Amino acid sequence: MDKAVDAFYRPQAFTEEAKRRNNLFELYERYTAGLFAVEKERKKEDLKGRC
């Protein structure tokens, strides 16, 4: 599995498990940035409309 992840995200393999994990978490944060903030804003707008 590690080889598949390395091949998908980088041209060279990670030298350490921690580097692989950190890279994947950074990608996750980048790709999900803003998703949860939008959801919070929608909930606030819904609550305002109910008052």
Q: Which residue has the higher pLDDT, 41 or 47?
A: 47
The model carries a pTM of 0.57
30 HSE (CA, 13 A, CB side): 6
**Structure tokens that stand for 2 in this block:** 């590690």
Across the chain, mean pLDDT equals 81
Average pLDDT of the residues in 33-44 = 69
Taking 60 as the threshold, does the pLDDT of residue 32 lie above it?
Answer: yes
Average pLDDT of the residues in 2-26 = 88
Single-letter amino acid, residue 8: F
Domain boundaries, the chain: 2-50
Question: Nearest Cα to 23, choosing from 51, 2, 47, 45?
Answer: 2
Q: Which residue has the higher pLDDT, 1 or 22?
A: 22
Q: For the chain, how big is the Rg over CA atoms in Å?
A: 18
